[in-house]
Amino acid sequence: MQTENNKSQPGNINTEKKSSGIRGFFRMGDLGGYFFRRKDPSRPSNINLKMMHGINKFSIAVFLLGVLYLIFKLVIKPRL
């Protein structure tokens, strides 16, 4: 049984904000937060960490471009 204290925990589904409409549809969520986050001064920074995040961002971008290419090739191109 949940109490009032459990409702404020971060993993609880009830605490998530729901947005509706066009703005909610185009909300990037975690992916947008990964690409466009601010520098946190409390987070350690070294060259290995910077390179790892740079490679991760590049691989995510290439994957998304590949998915868009497949959608274009399989859905849009046959109609032309």
Residue 79: CB partners within 8 Å, gap ≥ 6? none
The amino acid that residue 7 corresponds to is K
Residue ranges of the domains in the chain?
Answer: 18-79
Contact (Cβ atoms closer than 8 angstroms) between residue 6 and residue 12? yes
Kindly report the average pLDDT of the chain as a whole number.
Answer: 76
CA atoms within 13 A on the CB side of 49: 5
The amino acid that residue 47 corresponds to is I
More confident residue, 31 or 67: 67
pLDDT surpasses 80 at 42? yes
CA quadruple 60, 42, 50, 39: dihedral sign: positive
pLDDT surpasses 60 at 69? yes
Structure tokens at 3: 């109490």
pLDDT in tens, 10-33: 544 444 555 566 666 667 777 777
